Structure 1
Amino acid sequence: MDCEDPYESLPPSTTVSTHMLAGAAAGIGEHCIMYPVDCVKTRMQSIVPDPKANYRSVADALLKIVRYEGIWNTMRGVNVVVGSAGPAHAMYFACYEKLKTVLSGGKQGNHLAHGTAGCMATVLHDAVMNPAEVVKQRMQMYDSPYKTCLHCATSVYREEGLRAFYRSYTTQLSMNIPFQSVHFMIYEFSQDLLNKERNYDPKTHMLSGAVAGACAATLTMPLDVCKTLLNTQEHCARTHVSYINGMMAAIRTIFEFQGFSGFFRGLQARVLFQMPATAISWSVYEFFKYVLAKNNPDDNYLKVGGISVQAASSATSR
């Protein structure tokens, strides 16, 4: 339905850089705050875990890493994520906002348009993040031979070539396109239920984001395990190949070593990572939108928690 919703859409004069700035802040916050749990997820997805890194649970893994390797080992590789998450999420949210408006025709409740916009934005996001994921996950593995992210990147390039940084790209897209489609549709649907007026409400943004992240993470878990194997390239005596290339090769390898259950190793860690990560991402993003709208000099008003505050120019709801 059409209605005045200055916060939700931001003023017509809002530039692409506004969405990019909000998206960059959201992406960095999402990836960094829960980074230790992401480290645990990567290790738990190993198809041939070292006995010293065979963890029973997320808590057990964190305790062992801190006790035997030091607390900073839970953050190995975080700097490459910080450097990549900003531009990747900037393009991601800017593309999403633009395509969502175009595809939905400015109408609220068109969840198919939200999902489609999320898919298309993911292609750009993953093109930037995939090389960073390769470096990050190799740094996160137990007993990683790399000293720094730069050492890892140069070693991979020298030994495996540029292709190594995109070996998992199609698998990551195969995972992230349904992940983001489900993620955005559930987030928007939850907002329709919990925040019909689409006011700035941190509680509903966090709750909607957490539910969306948990559902999407569970649905796409097998593909995430495949992506980790392609990125880390664990060498196993029985594979008889130099490198594992492509999703089907990853699926065969995981099934050979661990059976069907292998596709869900680390599920608890992934859900525990995604729930607060997506909650943080949406909260930061919506906060930036609210602040930018509030500071726009105009005479229109935006209701927040039943209180009217000066807001941005009127715009139709998405």
Structure 2
Amino acid sequence: MALETHNKGSPDAVAGEEFEYEALPEGYGLSHNMLAGAFAGIAEHTVMYPVDLMKTRMQVINSGGTIYTGISNALSTISRIEGFRTLWRGMSSVIVGAGPAHAVYFGTYEVVKEFAGGNARDGKHHPAAAAMSGACATIASDALMNPFDVIKQRMQVHGSTHPSIAACARSVFRTEGLSAFYVSYPTTLTMTVPFTAFQFMAYESLSKVMNPSKTYDPITHCVAGGLAGAFAAGITTPLDVIKTLLQTRGASQDLEIRRVSGLVAAARIIKREYGWRGFMRGWKPRIVTTMPSTAICWSSYEMAKAYFRRTLREDEARRAL
């Protein structure tokens, strides 16, 4: 790697190097990837949260009798009727859950990617390893994040009266039981496993084309992350609509919706109410949310990894003096 071409006794050489980004310095481990993932998850979800709330409102059936026809309509309607601050209702649930969930997410991704040969120094592209690592990552992280996602969407729906995530969690548990926090988990996995597999495969492929040297390049990480997220989000929107119905069923006034318990039953209700077009409800805000979200997530993750690696390399150089 490039570091070896410099005098290791020179801190200036380390500070100005163009090191091989994927090469690991001494002391770099799983904990650094998990810290980088936690930072990325919190950054991603907090920045794009208002658009995510609008997506939820557009997907929920009979959302307080209000029909949201688009992003601009949802924004103006929510701001006018409920106040601009409503766009951030429930965000604390994301902050609390996203950090640990994304730490697990990226930690699992890096471990499985290494195990599957995705980090091999053979100069070849390994899309299958990227897809496998993404699928495993989302299975592990969604098990942790799903209850927080349920709480978030319950607080996002029109007319929500939950003053805090703790109050919302107690209310859901008291009225619907523990299963309410995981009723959407199978559907979530049905959506997120292909979503993450496609996203990671697309991200790794685009990164290899845009940045074959694998050096730290913020523009590449941002663009590749955004395009990969948009692609994956578009093709998995129908499953996201079903997941939203399952996660917000307890807030519905419709008895049939309140009793729905699975993917197929939820799909039937959506088909009956809105036809096949109903499965693409909220696709625009989903892509608008996901594209910058994944761009922010990958950029933040790669930036944090680059920071940890550069810091450890500088420490190595100082110790070698």
With normalisation by structure 1, the TM-score equals: 0.89
Give 1:66 shift.
Answer: 1.7
Please tell me whether the aligned partners of residues 10 and 289 of structure 1 are also in contact (alpha carbons under 8 angstroms).
Answer: no
Equivalent pair of 1:99/1:117 in contact (CA under 8 Å): yes
Encode CA deviations 1:246-280: one digit per residue, 9 max, x unaligned: 11111111111111011000000000000000000
Q: Following TM superposition, by how much is the alpha carbon of 1:244 offset from its aligned partner in structure 2, in angstroms?
A: 1.0
Query: Which structure has the higher relative contact order (CA within 8 Å, separation 6+)?
Result: 1
Give CA-to-partner distance per residue, 1:70-121, whole Å, 9 cap, x none. Answer: 1210011100110000000001101101110110163251010010011011
Q: Secondary structure at the match of 2:21?
A: helix
* 2:105 aligned partner: 92
Report the count of equivalent residues.
297
Cα distance in structure 2, aligned partners of 1:235 and 1:132: 19
Question: Secondary structure of 2:259's match?
Answer: coil
> How much does 1:40 deviate?
0.2
The alpha-carbon deviation at position 220 of structure 1 amounts to: 0.5
Whichever residue aligns with residue 234 of structure 2, its letter is: T
> How far apart in 1 are the matches of 2:272 and 2:133?
37
Identity of aligned residues (%): 44
Candidates 198, 214, 219, aligned match of 2:214: 198
Letter matched to residue 275 of structure 2: G
* Displacement of 1:50: 3.5
The alignment status of 1:48 with 2:62, answered yes or no, reads yes
* Partner residue of 2:77 out of 44, 64, 88: 64
Structure 2 residue corresponding to 1:160, chosen from 176, 179, 189: 176
Structure with greater helix share of residues: 2
| Deviation of 1:18 (Å) | 0.3
Are residues 33 and 86 of structure 1, via their aligned partners in 2, closer, same or farther at CA, if it must alter by over 3 Å? same
Deviation at 1:200, TM superposition (A): 1.1
Q: Give the SS at the match of 1:8.
A: coil
**Displacement, 1:49?**
3.4
Q: Please report the TM-score for the alignment, with normalisation by the length of structure 2.
A: 0.88
Shift of 1:145: 3.1
Q: Distance in 2 between matches of 1:150 and 1:238?
A: 26
Relative to structure 1, the CA distance from residue 148 to residue 238 in structure 2 (aligned partners, 3 Å threshold; closer, same or farther) is closer
Q: Does 1:30 align with 2:44?
A: yes
Equivalent-residue separation in structure 1 for 2:165 and 2:314 (angstroms):
47
Structure 1 gap segments, 5+ residues each: 301-309, 311-318
Partner of 2:192: 176
Equivalents in 1 of 2:179, 2:20: separation in Å?
45
| Between 139-148 and 120-129, the greater mean CA deviation after superposition | 139-148
Give a deviation string over 1:156-180, Cα, whole Å, max 9, x none: 0001110100000000000000000
Q: Give the unaligned 5+ runs of structure 2.
A: 5-18
Report the aligned-residue RMSD: 2.0
Indicate which of 116, 128, 144 corresponds to 1:112.
Answer: 128
Aligned to 1:284: 300
Residues 1-318 of structure 1 aligned to structure 2 (within 5 Å): 6-11=20-25, 13-51=27-65, 53-104=66-117, 106-107=119-120, 108-233=124-249, 235=252, 237=254, 239=256, 242-297=258-313
Q: Distance in 1 between matches of 2:315 and 2:304?
A: 20
The amino acid across from 2:162 in the alignment is Y
